[in-house]
A and B are shown apart, each in its own frame.
Chain A
Amino acid sequence: MRTTGSRGLRLLAFVGTAALLGTGLSACGDSSGSGDGDTLVFGASAEPKVLDGAFVSDGESMRVVRQIFEGLVTTAPGKTDVQPRLAESWTSSADGRTWTFTLRDGVRFSDGTPLDAKAVCANFDRWYHFTGVRQSPSVSYYWSTVFGGFAKNEDASLPKSLYSSCAPGSGRVAVIELTRPSAAFLSALTLPSFSIASPAALEKYKADEVSGQEQSPRFTGTFGTEHPIGTGPYVLRSWERGNQLVLERNESYWGQRARIKNVVVKAIPDGGARLQSLLSGGIDGYDLVDPADVKTLEDKGLQLLDRPAFNIGYVGLNQSTPLLKNLKVRQAIAHAIDRERLVKNNYPEGTLVAQEFMPPGVFGYADDVVKYEYDPAEARRLLAQAGVTSPKIEFWYPTDVSRPYLPDPAAVYQLVKGDLEKVGFSVQARSAPWTPEYLDSVQSGKAQMYLLGWAADFGDPDNFIGTFFQKSMPEWGFRNPELAGMLDRAEATTEQDERIAAYEAANRKIMELLPGVPFVHTRQSLAFRSEVRGFVPSPVQNEDFATVTLTTK
């Protein structure tokens, strides 16, 4: 027995030593240290889906598309103002239906072909002539959102297209005709979905080739996965799905060349995992910092960059419910909620309390909307006036989710619930996982009162209040032709001063109608190592890696 025992102990010692040695050896073999001035590793929250701008609507695909492609116009760094990119200037006709873009001279796609008016029109015509699965809102979301329909709509629910035609004028001039006036058109063109791709590459790499059965179509071309050819400051070096995507500097870029040679985009879906990766030097920066991690990042001396608030969080009130159809009840709810406390307790420092359905940075924001101050006595008085005694309400909040405007839905729910109960409401909790149950319940009009929000895609009021109220939606449960008409006219006006006035009026009207209680505009943060410089956060996430530098340790 003795022999066995000592052998056993030796075995145990061997296992332990091997384990220690293993980790020790791995430490010696670490070759992935940070500080390579030629490569920036960025932690994204998901993998891009595809790198063809026409087919993307998710932030992570758009982030990469923005580095490889450029549109006719873009937003100013850190702002939402429209400024030139591939078009050096543009004019619109008095009726707002004809837009003439003059292109920058001497720009070439990374495959060497020239950017000219023909190439621009080829792109617009490509999008307009999408058929089959390419008309799906899950595929060409922004085309259908901005332009409505296609040359030949294959679904009865699609409206007539806003786009009519594009004519290449002399060399550098492209003339785009719309079927009706739209001022939001120009702001929408800042989206990466409308970036200009090389027509030669689109054809060569079969960007639009779809195969498979009717109910199970699949894209077979390699344009969006292997050969995305644009004019941007970076080109795709490699993309190994599931691992990482590598961008390389476009050495023949027409403008200021990118400072960093390689940008690696690595998907780390979990926010906590992104934080740990930054702390351990695995990545140089990441997006969508969890507000709870801000202190840790600051304590460790890492940089936090804030995006200007460009979203809205609100308590939705569905007027298809008899109780909420009553304006006085809705006003009572607005007065009952202590929004200052709600924001102070649940959001990071610097978060704005919302007064209307769009943030102050967007033109058309009205300072003089009806404000609903926290006043429980007034709330009780309004309920009494409405003749409602002990009102019962179902209040929905999502689980398993953290949105920029709703980092902790359950906590927000608890505070609002408490406020409502103080003035006499009896609140019944309803919760569901964010997607798809919760969104499904809200969007189908099933939820009476709910927490929701919106992060806009481009800097135009149409993308906030136009999205919410231009068409009647089940989640609001009301139809107001006057408001819809105001928003239609505001969208069509091309005179900027008139648009501002029109949207201000619409905002005043909305807050009188009180379809919900807006309560927050949050900032989103990105975190970087202190060596990373030159990254400019954009409210619409139009962020360029080309200006970033990385100082070596």
Chain B
Amino acid sequence: MRPARPARAVRPTCPARSERPPSHGGGTVLRFVARRLAQLVPILLGLSLLLFFWVRSLPGGPAAALLGERATPEKVAQINRLYGMDRPLWEQYLDFLGRALRLDLGVSRMTERPVTEELLSRFPATVELAIVAIVFAVGIGVPLGYLAARRHLTWVDNLAVAGSLVGVAIPVFFLGFLLKYLFAVRLGWLPPDGRQSPRLFVDHPTGFYVLDGLLRGDPASSWDALRHLVLPGIALGTIPLAIITRITRASVLDVLHKDYVRTAEAKGLTRTLVSRRHVLRNALLPVLTVTGLQVGLLLSGAVLTETVFAFPGVGSFLVDAIAARDYAVIQGFILVIAVIVVTVNLLVDAGYGLIDPRVRLR
């Protein structure tokens, strides 16, 4: 009796996904992306409505916040009249919506600068930080999770599981403070705060400091910027690291027990080949999904991390804006973050086709 043909005969089921782009043809992908983008419209509209009324339901207002102890009822009323904050809410909302559609997010009352300008000047910092955090989380989490699964129920596995529990549980601000105290204050290995050493007087045309140094042909300033990213990057990346480690471990464990892996091993394929072609490729699908979801978490974690490390990104500015009841900034920033989170998830879905040939074939 001829043995059944290995591997090909087995059609493993894909990990569950709500929706995946059918990738056999450019038109279909485009339709998928267009549909997802169209879904974005009601989401953003609903979000803008919620946000608008939520920030205005907070007690106090920007005028009182701006003037502090110096606020008098007359001055508060004058500011409210001047900026139209005494008008009916629905009128203010329509005004906001009309401007937002023209990509005008209004003007920050804290800085008197357009919100889009504030966003653009601060976003590169947060993006750099998020990239370092995600590289840290994936770069360590995937190998560690894989290793833990391969060495299931050994000390390596136990250590990874315990470590990831601690990683998920530790508050970001506490970890940030701890890292800073140890590596910046006590050991002096890394800078305690900011994005660049204050005594390096260099220009930053793109706002991405690491890139700017390379563009200027000044690797020393890129190196300096990278060193500033290490501690906040670790602080921000720890929770995603813990999650990615756990997901990778679980997923690899799952795949390791699949028939096609056993068959591949039985065929006499080398362990490296089995790992690369059969185990990792399949196991990484849920990891990719989770990594995509981490983007939202990273942006919210950035609020705390940036505050601890005086890292001038979007998060720390949002904290100031909330304290100052700077409505335009709060609305603008959260809307943009929402767009980013949705877009990243769309990219993750689209990216499925790249690493999963089964999706391409369907």
Chain A interfacial positions (CB closer than 8 Å to B): 3-5, 8-9, 11-12, 15, 22-24, 26-27, 29-32, 36, 39, 41, 46, 49-50, 55, 57, 132-133, 135-139, 141, 144-145, 155, 157-158, 212-219, 237-238, 240-244, 246, 262, 264, 266-270, 272-273, 276-277, 279-283, 432, 435-437, 439-440, 443-444, 452-454, 471, 473-474
Contacts and interface: CB of A to CB of B under 8 A. Distances in A.
B198 interface: yes
Contacts of A453: 69
Q: 3 smallest A-B Cβ distances: which pairs?
A: A436-B60, A32-B197, A242-B312
Interface in B193-237: 193-201, 203-204, 220, 223-224, 227, 230
Contact of A157 (B69, B77, B106, B140): B77
Given A8-B150, A273-B310, A435-B60, A218 B78 contact: no
A276 B192 contact: yes
A11 B125 contact: no
A24 B227 CA distance: 11
A237 B199 CA distance: 13
B249 interface: no
Contacts of B244: none
Given A8-B147, A243-B312, A453-B69, A23 B112 contact: no
Contacts of A246: 201
A139 B107 CA distance: 13
Nearest to A240: B204
A31 B140 contact: no
B82 A439 contact: no
A415 to B, nearest CB: 22
Nearest to A403: B69
Contact of A138 (B104, B109, B320): B109
Given A216-B107, A439-B69, A474-B73, A269 B59 contact: no
A32 B199 contact: yes
Contacts of A454: 69
| Majority secondary structure of chain A interface residues (helix, strand, loop or mixed) | mixed
24 contacts: A26-B189, A32-B200, A39-B199, A41-B198, A55-B112, A57-B70, A136-B78, A138-B67, A155-B81, A157-B75, A157-B77, A212-B114, A215-B87, A216-B104, A216-B106, A267-B310, A269-B310, A276-B180, A280-B191, A435-B323, A436-B60, A436-B65, A439-B65, A443-B64
B63 interface: yes
Given A15-B144, A218-B114, A242-B121, A136 B69 contact: no
Given A242-B312, A272-B177, 14 more contacts: A4-B151, A11-B143, A12-B156, A15-B144, A30-B227, A32-B200, A32-B224, A41-B199, A136-B82, A216-B83, A243-B204, A436-B62, A440-B61, A443-B73
A157 B78 contact: yes
Contacts of B220: 31
B125 A212 contact: no
B53 interface: no
A139 B79 CA distance: 10
A219 B112 contact: yes
Nearest to A272: B177
B107 A268 contact: no
A432 B59 contact: yes
Contact of B79 (A136, A277, A444): A136
Nearest to B230: A26
Nearest to B63: A138
Contact of B150 (A4, A36, A219): A4
A242 B306 CA distance: 11
Contact of B194 (A212, A241, A282): A282
